[in-house]
Amino acid sequence: MKIGFIGLGVMGRPMAGHLIDAGHTLQLSRVKDASRFLLDKGGTGAATAAEAAQGAGVVILMLPDTPDVEAVLLGDDGVLAGLEPGALVIDMSSVSPVATKDFATRTGAAGGHWLDAPVSGGQAGAENAALTIMCGGSDAAFDMARPLLEVMGKRITHVGGAGAGQTAKVCNQIIVGLTIQAVAEALTFAGAAGTDPSRVREALMGGFADSTILKVHGQRMIDQTFDPGFRIRLHRKDMALAVDAAKALDLALPNTAVVQQLMNAAIGRGDGDLDHSALIRTLKAASGAD
């Protein structure tokens, strides 16, 4: 299949590479030095998003934020300007569920199909083709996309109509963010109380407090190794999506708002490009325990 792929960051590069390895022809927008290896693998460069979409049956977006998707999709040289009739747009970015419904409507009006398919699993999941993918769109769009999604991910769920995938991703980021805070607070408490945090972590694994975050990020916190993974500034963006959506829905999400503020503080102290497990540094600094 001929695929337009736009967004070759730390996640997008390996995702595009898996598709090329699976035999698909990729038209790549935003090729920079770090992604030139994809041209060596057989991908072709495209000067604009519209050019990447031309002749493609599927266009995949993997972009940082809602305004990026809006510009790439709807701009003068955007995807919809070059979209083939009946082509499928798959947005694998993590963006606003509200804006996503508008993107889906605009794509349909341009003669295309839409699927929002944000991912979880971070850089390691992208590199190992083991992403969790949450999908929103019609049954037909999901069926069209599934063979491609299976090249990049392991757990693929059709959640509902357009926007439902983004809603599920926001839910994921709420749980991850609050759990990172909980683990960070627990290990900070253990150390301040004079108990070895590594022994506490070991004692908690296997009980009700166990989680992937306790296992993986708890170890990162103990070792103080915070190479990203998933940067705090990107997770802060996702928490802002949750807080903004809660406001629109008149919901109280108090702990989500607290974690967003802690991430603001982490970025303010210069930790924005560290892994989100580095939130423990902000908590320790606030307690005078760093």
The predicted pLDDT at position 228 comes to 86
DSSP secondary structure letter of residue 95: -
Instruction: Confirm if 82 and 57 have CB atoms less than 8 A apart.
Output: no
Residues known to be catalytic: 169
Q: Centre a 10 Å sphere on the Cβ of residue 192 and count the other Cβ atoms it contains.
A: 13
DSSP secondary structure letter of residue 83: P
Q: Checking DSSP bridges between strand 88-91 and strand 25-29, what pairing results, if any?
A: unpaired
For the chain, give me the number of helices (H) and strands (E)? 14, 9
The predicted pLDDT at position 272 comes to 97
Residues of the chain with CATH 1.10.1040.10: 167-287
Beta bridge partners of 2: 25
* Residues in the chain, total: 290
Q: What is the pLDDT of residues 11-45, one digit of tens each?
A: 999 999 999 999 999 999 989 999 999 999 999 99
The predicted pLDDT at position 229 comes to 81
Beta bridge partners of 134: 157
Query: 115-133 in b/e burial notation, b at 16+ Cβ within 10 A?
Result: bbbbbbbbbebbbebebbb
**Residues 85, 87, 88, 91: is their CA dihedral positive or negative?**
negative
Q: What is the pLDDT of residues 203-238, one digit of tens each?
A: 999 999 999 999 999 999 999 999 988 899 999 999
The rounded distance, in Å, linking the Cα atoms of 213 and 206 is 13
Q: What is the pLDDT of residues 122-132, one digit of tens each?
A: 888 999 999 99
The predicted pLDDT at position 21 comes to 98
Instruction: Confirm if 27 and 84 have CB atoms less than 8 A apart.
Output: no
Q: What type of residue sits at position 199?
A: R
The rounded distance, in Å, linking the Cα atoms of 241 and 69 is 14
φ/ψ bin of 229: left (φ > 0), alpha (ψ from -120 to 50), beta (otherwise): left
Q: 167-287 maps to which CATH number?
A: 1.10.1040.10
**Three-state DSSP class for 215?**
helix
Residues of the chain with CATH 3.40.50.720: 2-161
pTM of the shown model: 0.92
**Residues 130, 19, 83, 85: is their CA dihedral positive or negative?**
negative
Architecture of domain 2-161: 3-Layer(aba) Sandwich (3.40)
- Return mean pLDDT, the chain: 96
